[in-house]
């Protein structure tokens, strides 16, 4: 089942069960997907694009959580954490550090990357594979460290 259809089904289930917080979050996800479809005038968005939307939304929630924690707004932290948990349900399982390191090493050898100038090649190869499964900022830092060494 395509990811967008799975999210739509989840919205219907949330409506039937009366789970208002879940329903609100799922509607936010569908609104973001619909925005891309309207902006780019496409009928069906691919699963890769849906994953990119979900990844972006998860990143926004993590940033909001850190900001709200600094401001000691625990009420808002709880809301953001609940939304993040729901968003993560639609993302593939996260990779651990050793799996990410292995993928970086494989991409570096496959592209022949040897200096920081080759970072774009490595990131271009890894981004589709890691989208939604790893924090791309962290991956970028790991690649920089390996290419700088």
- Rounded Cα distance between 146 and 141, Å, is 9
What would the pLDDT profile of 28-59 be if each residue is shown by its tens digit? 999 999 999 999 998 888 888 898 899 899 98
pLDDT of residue 66: 95
Instruction: Yes or no: say if 37 and 45 are a contact pair by the CB < 8 Å rule.
Output: yes
pLDDT exceeds 90 at position 116: no
Q: How confident is the model at residue 136 (pLDDT cuts 50, 70, 90)?
A: confident
What would the pLDDT profile of 73-115 be if each residue is shown by its tens digit? 999 999 999 999 999 999 888 888 888 889 988 888 888 888 8
Instruction: Yes or no: say if 91 and 51 are a contact pair by the CB < 8 Å rule.
Output: yes
Spacing of C-alpha 117 from chain mean position? 26
Domains and CATH numbers, the chain: 3-90 (1.10.1510.10), 97-148 (1.10.10.410)
pLDDT of residue 112: 86
Q: What is the DSSP letter of 94?
A: P
pLDDT of residue 28: 96
pLDDT exceeds 80 at position 149: no
Higher-pLDDT residue of 131, 26: 26
What would the pLDDT profile of 1-34 be if each residue is shown by its tens digit? 789 999 999 999 999 999 999 999 999 999 999 9
Spacing of C-alpha 51 from chain mean position? 6
Distances (CA, A) of 97 to 9, 39, 60, 79, 139: 33, 36, 22, 28, 9
């Amino acid at each position: 089942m395509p990811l967008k259809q799975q999210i739509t089904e989840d919205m219907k289930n949330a409506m039937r069960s009366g789970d208002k917080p879940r329903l609100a979050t799922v509607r936010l996800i569908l609104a973001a997907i619909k925005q891309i479809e309207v902006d780019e005038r496409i009928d069906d968005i691919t699963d890769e694009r849906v994953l990119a939307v979900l990844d972006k939304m998860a990143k926004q929630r993590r940033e909001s959580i850190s900001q709200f924690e600094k401001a000691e707004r625990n009420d808002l932290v709880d809301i953001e954490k609940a939304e993040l948990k729901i968003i993560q349900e639609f993302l593939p399982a996260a990779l651990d550090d050793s799996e990410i390191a292995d993928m970086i090493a494989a991409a570096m050898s496959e592209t022949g990357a040897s200096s920081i100038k080759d970072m774009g090649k490595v990131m271009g190869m890894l981004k589709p594979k890691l989208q939604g499964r790893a924090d791309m900022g962290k991956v970028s830092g790991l690649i920089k460290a390996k290419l700088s060494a």
